[in-house]
Amino acid sequence: MDNVIDINAYRHRVLKERIFGPWHRRFGDTFHLKTRLRDLSGRTLFLLAQPGDVSAEPFYDLIMGVLDMGDATDFFYLDDHQKMTVVDIHMFLADHVRFEMMQRLSWLKIHSCLAYPIVSMVEQFGKFRSLCMKHAPELTRSHPDYPAFSRLNPMEKQVFIRKMINDALASFQRQVFSDR
């Protein structure tokens, strides 16, 4: 009886490794099934906020791990519907990583969707996409561009915020990597 295995603890460990193992190896941080975007280190957040293929692979690893589809190297073997699902979730998470980055810069008000575990955002993508679209991020009143932002309609506000991404990346890079 000394060798009793807690099957639930084992399953939890295997699931965590499948989902976050690639991220741990890539970023060197520790993640768990309840990790939220706000829990990510500045370095990890900065790397995930990069546009294009730089961040696609880590997102695909995570998403495909959560959905039990393999890892990023298996992406091209998925059927078209599965590929679209992964790409849609990737775009959703990439947006929210960038919103978290802007929130840390004090450019955006706290956005409710940043409070949820990343794994839940993938597992329940449809629910979270609808919820988050109802509550688009808002620029803080202290941001110098707030007067112009406040005059825009909701759709224009989303475009306005997305146009700030490159400036946010540069500012966040200075903030995160100047501490070294």
pLDDT single digits (tens) 55-88: 999 999 999 999 999 999 999 999 999 999 999 9
HSE of 77, CA atoms in CB hemisphere, 13 A: 7
| Of the candidates 5, 12, 37, 10, the residue with the CA atom closest to the CA atom of residue 23 | 37
* Model pLDDT for residues 83-134, shown as the tens digit of each residue: 999 999 999 999 999 999 999 999 999 887 888 999 999 999 999 998 888 8
pTM value is 0.91
| Of the candidates 84, 94, 30, the residue with the CA atom closest to the CA atom of residue 59 | 94
C-alpha to C-alpha distance for 56 and 100, rounded to whole angstroms: 17
Contact 153, 83 (CB under 8 A): no
